[in-house]
Chain A
Amino acid sequence: MNLPPGTTWLKVAVTIMLATAFTAMPAAGASKSTADHSKFKELQQNFQSGPEVTKACLSCHTEAAKQVQKTKHWTWEYLNPENKQRLGKKNVINNFCIAVPSNYAACTACHIGYGWKDDKFDFTVETNVDCLACHDTTGSYLKLAGMAGHVPYKDMEYPPGSGSFVKATDLKKVAQKVGKTSRDTCGACHFNGGGGNAVKHGDLDTSLEAPDKELDVHMDSLGLNFTCATCHKTGGHDVAGSRYAPTAVDRKGAQVRGSEDRKNPATCQSCHGQAPHTKTAKLNDHTSKLACQTCHVPSFARGGIATKMSWDWSTAGKMGPDGKPMTVKDDKKHVIYDSKKGDFVLAENVTPEYIWFNGSVQYTLRGDPVEKSDQPTRINRFEGSPHDGKSVIWPVKVFRGQQPYDTVSKSLVILHTTGNDDASYWKHFNWEKAIAAGMASVGDTFSGKYDFVKTEMTWPITHMVAPKDKAVGCVECHKAGGRLEKIEGVYIPGRSRDHLGLLDTAGWSLAALTLFGVVVHGSLRIATRKKKD
């Protein structure tokens, strides 16, 4: 064996061991499938469009489109059974890009369908379902904003007028290599919510495509290597877990095969049960009041990518010295001002805020009254209390901002931002026209008078689960001014505001008095003894 000088046998041994370890490790996403799609005759064709591929898929997977069409991923609509609010991406107004209507062609790059460019989209056509958005394994299937969910079918300039070009998608290759969903496919949209990487959630960004153990103990790409669907276990294309009706509290034990299915198999408890701490049993006492995430997700935006913390639309529209739209970056190269969008605050390694949460979420929808005040309008109110018996303390990201509302009808408004028409805000920077177009797109009216109102949107923090030795330590809450300082309704040993002031005062006073008494008594004894001597 020829070795470079200075190579020790130890080094060689370690190298061999490592090499063996890596060879023994199954490749990420290694398929155990019984079908090799590249051998299917249905897929031996040069597909001209996405719907053609879907047609081929459906020739075998006859029920797939029907299943997909029942889900939120398809309808972008959700009727909250509890309060009858009509939610879903199609209906809610948020404080990021504000709303989907009037901006379909851009937003529906993240729709699992083809052709949703306006409100005339036919949701019943099965070939409109985009199978590849979720089942691509090549990483080459890119739905681009502005193309209503289609991918480039020929080489094209993108964005239009930019001078950059994108290549046509090799649909045949993508179709022949379909497989299970992956962190990449889910992440293509969910890591980029809010218009860019890490913008929206805070606990979901592209750092989770191949995370290490520190970033996410389950998705650790060299370890457990979970995909999203490992927890968000999907049946009949219906993906478990919902932000509109979250499972805030799960009191069931770990799910055993054959046991009754639970509503949401994506909860921590569905694998870990109710008493997961074996070494320090006292920690199990916390589960009646705390979501697992409260300790196990110590901070979000932990993967080195900053998330947006606030977005102030009221400052949008300022032009650069050349009279053209501009962007301003901070010293970390984060865009903190964009003429199209206003001011941003971004942050990494953010400590969450904590609230009591019982799973009920109440949205402020278009038409719901809003009032300009120092008290922000809550886009989505997470409900809960220490006393309702069904809440636990949850970590959340609170996204703050200012956004337009109609000062006459007192309603949040839809803003038409995208597109090349003369009402598009990002093209012409005219608030009245852009709001009028946005509202008209849903058949609503705009008084013509607008102002900006402070808003808050709450996002549950549940991903980026740290290894247990990096979980939030006891003292981070068990002290004055800790993480849970503002949480009402629990006694936290060590949090001084829970002390009964009178007891502490009386206790220390009496102890001091006793000490004083014995010191005086002792001194007198010494003094009188000296005299005798």
Chain B
Amino acid sequence: MTTQRVYIFKRFERFWHWTQAALIIFMMLTGFEVHGTYTLLGWAKAAQLHTNAAWALVALWVFAIFWHFTTGEWKQYIPTMEKVDVMVKYYVTGIFTDAPHPFRTTPLIKHNPLQRLAYLFVKLLINPLIWISGFAYLFYRDLGAIGLGGLPLAPIALVHTAAAFLMLIFFIAHIYLATAGHTPTAHIKAMIIGYEDVEDHGAAPAGKSAG
């Protein structure tokens, strides 16, 4: 069995990932303080910094979206059900019996089919929920301009909180699954230095080729 060093995550991608991670962690911390769950920075500061972080994330996303479309990387998130069962089976049994990881990372297919589904779920459900409710929260007194003048703050806050919980749950699972690569640190290392040492044991790339 040989290992192969593969360049998976480009410099911008890594920058985007970690900046986004920091912002999201910070926004969860400040967000739940604004919600009233605990006192950490003080409400006023938490609310102000939560808003500032949101704008920073908006800026980051403008670049990320541009990058995804100009590089074609958006295709990494096209969902597939193919081999999802294999991945599930690996997480349920194979991982405990030292079975080979069923997915081999390549620069063209960075995410295993479960990751694709999970990230798509984040991008198509959690993020829109957060952004739409978040902007409504921020500009709720101006909602009249788009014909939603009568909308009270309570349902807006409710959706925003619900989305925050979804993000928190994703966050917990995501951190753990980051350790569930070929080796516990393989994914994390790849996200830091860009390269992943891929075991060449003949496992076929899962999912449709993105290229």
A contacts, CB < 8 Å to B: 280, 282, 284-285, 288, 473-475, 478-480, 490-491, 493-496, 498-500, 503-504, 506-508, 510-511, 514-515, 517-518, 521-522, 524-525, 528-529, 532
Smallest beta-carbon distance A101→chain B, Å: 48
Name which of A284, A478, A495 has the most chain B CB atoms within 10 A of its CB.
A478
Complex-state Cα separation, A186 to B44, whole angstroms: 39
Contact B44 A528 (CB under 8 A): no
Instruction: With CB as the reference atom, state the residue of chain B lying closest to A516.
Output: B172
Residue B20, interface by CB 8 Å = no
Q: Contacting B154 at CB < 8 Å: which of A285, A498, A515?
A: A498
Smallest beta-carbon distance A259→chain B, Å: 24
* Size class of the B contact interface (CB-based, 8 Å): 35 or more
Smallest beta-carbon distance A459→chain B, Å: 29
Q: 8 pairs across A/B with beta carbons < 8 Å? A: A282-B47, A285-B141, A480-B36, A490-B153, A493-B34, A499-B35, A507-B168, A528-B96
Tell me which residues across on chain B come within 8 A of A508, comparing CB atoms. Answer: 165
Tell me which residues across on chain B come within 8 A of A491, comparing CB atoms. Answer: 152-154, 157
Complex-state Cα separation, A141 to B152, whole angstroms: 55
Smallest beta-carbon distance A474→chain B, Å: 4
Smallest beta-carbon distance B53→chain A, Å: 15
Residue B106, interface by CB 8 Å = no
Tell me which residues across on chain A come within 8 A of B47, comparing CB atoms. Answer: 282, 474, 478, 493
Instruction: With CB as the reference atom, state the residue of chain B lying closest to A386.
Output: B152
- Mask, B126-150, CB within 8 Å of A = 1, is 0000000000001011000000000
Q: Contacting A532 at CB < 8 Å: which of B91, B98, B153, B158?
A: B98
The 9 closest A-B pairs by CB, nearest first: A507-B165, A518-B176, A475-B43, A474-B44, A491-B154, A494-B36, A491-B153, A528-B96, A285-B141
Complex-state Cα separation, A528 to B96, whole angstroms: 6
- Mask, B2-45, CB within 8 Å of A = 1, is 00000000000000000000000000000001111001001110
Given A507-B161, A522-B176, A532-B98, are A479 and B36 neighbors across the interface (CB < 8 Å)?
A: yes
Tell me which residues across on chain B come within 8 A of A532, comparing CB atoms. Answer: 98
Complex-state Cα separation, A474 to B97, whole angstroms: 55
Q: Contacting A511 at CB < 8 Å: which of B48, B97, B169?
A: B169
Tell me which residues across on chain B come within 8 A of A498, comparing CB atoms. Answer: 154, 157
Q: Contacting B169 at CB < 8 Å: which of A493, A500, A510, A521?
A: A510
Complex-state Cα separation, A479 to B98, whole angstroms: 50
